[in-house]
Chains A and B, each alone.
Chain A
Amino acid sequence: QVTLRESGPALVKPTQTLTLTCTFSGFSLSTSGMCVSWIRQPPGKALEWLAVIDWDDDKYYSTSLKTRLTISKDTSKNQVVLTMTKMDPVDTATYYCARIYGGVGSGPVDYWGQGSLVTVSS
């Protein structure tokens, strides 16, 4: 059974750095074709893809946010971490971690975490 769970602060102040952890089970990020991605959704708005890391430790980022994002993995702990610098109120959103199987550009997002609401406010 594949599960993913996001953890991190519910509230961050403007200019701070956000660190979110995705802890997953039911699969290994060392398996060929396996990827974990971060996707966010501002309240009442559409989904926005942020970053992905694959089994080979290749990393890809949203063009508009790449200067602020860092994604990393700890395969032994079954965790993927996303950091986002210089947080702003417009970054208020539910942040999802999700699994993609089939390699970057191939498979769909087949499993999603429940999401973690992050509010940016002073």
Chain B
Amino acid sequence: QSVLTQPPSVSGAPGQRVTISCTGTSSNIGAGYDVHWYQQLPGTAPKLLIYGNSNRPSGVPDRFSGSKSGTSASLAITGLQAEDEADYYCQSYDTSLSGRYVFGTGTKVTVL
């Protein structure tokens, strides 16, 4: 069961900016644990997109950015491209009975 809540879907035209929210609680994001983001293209394994709230691994375009505030985090995609159509998941760490690592519910990004 997912502990972090994301919108099921977001969409935008090529070139637009979209944002994906990730809402947690005081036992995960609000407790100060980092938020990481993953991109999952159809039929493939997830890929690390953003780590430590706002850091991009080598090779990830700077169109992707992350932020965190309080019990929530956000992923922004600027200059949306067709290749960005994928599922996106946030992930953090949790100290409650939910158990250690927690993922978001996932967001499908559609490029119109």
Which residues of A approach B to under 8 Å, CB–CB? 37, 39, 46-49, 52, 60-64, 66, 96, 104-115
Which residues of B approach A to under 8 Å, CB–CB? 1-2, 33-34, 36, 38, 45-48, 51-52, 57, 89, 91, 93, 97-106
B106 pairs with A47, CB closer than 8 A: yes
Min Cβ gap A31→B in Å is 18
A46 pairs with B105, CB closer than 8 A: yes
Besides A46-B89, A110-B48, 5 other CB < 8 A contacts?
A46-B103, A47-B91, A49-B100, A63-B99, A105-B33
Given A105-B93, A109-B91, residue A37 in contact with residue B46 (CB < 8 A)? no
Closest residue to A60 on the B side, CB-wise?
B100
Given A105-B93, A109-B38, A109-B91, residue A49 in contact with residue B103 (CB < 8 A)? yes
Closest residue to B98 on the A side, CB-wise?
A63
A47 pairs with B89, CB closer than 8 A: yes
A63 pairs with B97, CB closer than 8 A: yes
Min Cβ gap A37→B in Å is 7
A52 pairs with B100, CB closer than 8 A: yes
How far does the alpha carbon of A107 sit from the alpha carbon of B91 in the complex, in Å? 11
Closest residue to A46 on the B side, CB-wise?
B106
B45 pairs with A115, CB closer than 8 A: yes
Min Cβ gap B44→A in Å is 8
B38 pairs with A64, CB closer than 8 A: no
CB neighbours of B51 from chain A (8 A): 107-108, 110
CB neighbours of B34 from chain A (8 A): 106, 108
Min Cβ gap B52→A in Å is 7
CB neighbours of B102 from chain A (8 A): 49
CB neighbours of B99 from chain A (8 A): 49, 60-64, 66
